[in-house]
């Protein structure tokens, strides 16, 4: 029997135990990140995104920034609660379907408990100046978080002209023409699709034009003196 052969099962078992421990730690972090975001953030999912971003990217390094921004944008486009959608996307990316469930449960649990408590205590809560001042401060902080989310989500689009124009047009349409956000999102999606195909068509045309030019230069006949009338024999 080779020396040390009995250590292989022990090492394998230790590796499995370590992997399970790391997975449990990741799931706990997912739950805690989204539980905190759901507990201490008001004004909806947009206000939660900066807190979620700080934890999953900067603190725990679960995913990269570009992936998170893509998930955040997709969470706003799809129906449903933004924070819940984002939690499902991030959790699925980090730890599969179990991670998606854990993150989603973490983000909706505080809201469920808070709404249950508010339903019971709302009538008994006095509407004093102190309570009104607290709510005013919370609304102000929430507005700042929403503005930060808008700047962060748009940071990828500042480098090209078309996204900047689309941002400006969407803002103007919503603010001045009172168009529903749903139609703005659908229109922006169609505009982005049309822009992609138009840009792809121009690239294909330019590539084909380049091939024609290069092909035309290679069709010249050389060595014309080698024909039957070249006078090689007298």
Tokens of 161: 């002209």
* DSSP assignment of 124-149: GS---HHHHHHHHHHHHHHHHHHHHH
How many residues in total does the chain contain? 234
Q: Can you give the residue range of the structural domain that contains 204?
A: 160-210
User: Where do runs of H (alpha helix) occur along the chain?
Assistant: 7-40, 45-53, 65-77, 82-121, 129-154, 161-176, 181-217
Specify the residue for token string 């959790």. 91
- Asked if residue 164 and residue 64 are part of one domain, the reply reads no
Q: Can you give the pLDDT at residue 157?
A: 64
Which of 26, 68, 24 lies closest to 48, judged by CA? 68
- Asked if residue 63 and residue 28 are part of one domain, the reply reads yes
- Asked if residue 150 and residue 184 are part of one domain, the reply reads no
- Asked if residue 69 and residue 29 are part of one domain, the reply reads yes
**In this predicted model, what pLDDT tens digit does every residue of 80-114 receive, in sequence order?**
788 889 999 999 999 999 999 999 999 999 988 88
- Asked if residue 186 and residue 150 are part of one domain, the reply reads no
The answer to whether position 14 is within a domain reads: no
The answer to whether position 169 is within a domain reads: yes
**In this predicted model, what pLDDT tens digit does every residue of 154-185 receive, in sequence order?**
776 667 788 888 888 988 998 899 888 888 88
**In this predicted model, what pLDDT tens digit does every residue of 57-83 receive, in sequence order?**
989 999 998 899 889 888 887 877 888
User: Cβ neighbours of residue 158 under 8 Å, at least 6 residues apart?
Assistant: 164
Contact (CB, 8 A) for 192 and 166:
yes
The answer to whether position 220 is within a domain reads: no
- Asked if residue 199 and residue 150 are part of one domain, the reply reads no
**In this predicted model, what pLDDT tens digit does every residue of 11-28 receive, in sequence order?**
666 666 667 888 899 999
Structural domains of the chain, count: 2
The answer to whether position 2 is within a domain reads: no
Chain centroid to Cα 99, Å, comes to 17
**In this predicted model, what pLDDT tens digit does every residue of 41-58 receive, in sequence order?**
666 677 788 889 889 998
Q: Can you give the pLDDT at residue 1?
A: 45
Tokens of 127: 């509407």
- Asked if residue 148 and residue 172 are part of one domain, the reply reads no
> What's the CA gap between 164 and 218, in Å, rounded?
43
- Residue 203's φ and ψ, nearest 5 degrees, are -65, -40
- Asked if residue 88 and residue 62 are part of one domain, the reply reads yes
> Taking 70 as the threshold, does the pLDDT of residue 213 lie above it?
no
The answer to whether position 224 is within a domain reads: no
């Amino acid at each position: 029997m080779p020396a040390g052969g009995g250590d292989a099962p022990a090492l394998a078992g230790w590796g499995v135990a370590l992997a399970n421990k790391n997975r449990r730690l990741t799931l706990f972090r997912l739950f805690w990140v989204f539980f905190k975001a759901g507990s201490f953030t008001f004004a909806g999912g947009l206000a939660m995104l900066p807190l979620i971003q700080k934890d999953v990217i900067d603190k725990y390094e679960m995913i990269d920034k570009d992936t998170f921004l893509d998930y955040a944008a997709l969470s706003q486009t799809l129906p449903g609660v933004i924070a819940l959608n984002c939690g499902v996307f991030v959790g699925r990316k980090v730890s599969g379907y179990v991670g998606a469930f854990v993150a989603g449960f973490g983000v909706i649990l505080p809201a469920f408990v808070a709404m249950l408590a508010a339903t019971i205590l709302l009538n008994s809560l006095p509407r004093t100046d102190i309570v009104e001042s607290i709510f005013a401060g919370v609304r102000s902080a929430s507005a700042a978080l929403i503005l930060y989310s808008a700047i962060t989500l748009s940071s990828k689009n500042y480098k090209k002209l078309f996204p900047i124009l689309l941002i400006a047009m969407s803002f103007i349409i919503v603010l001045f023409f009172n168009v529903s956000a749903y139609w703005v999102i659908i229109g922006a999606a169609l505009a982005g699709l049309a822009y992609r195909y138009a840009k792809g068509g121009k690239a294909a045309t330019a590539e084909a034009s380049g091939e024609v030019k290069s092909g035309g230069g290679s069709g010249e006949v050389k060595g014309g003196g080698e024909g039957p009338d070249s006078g090689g024999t007298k």
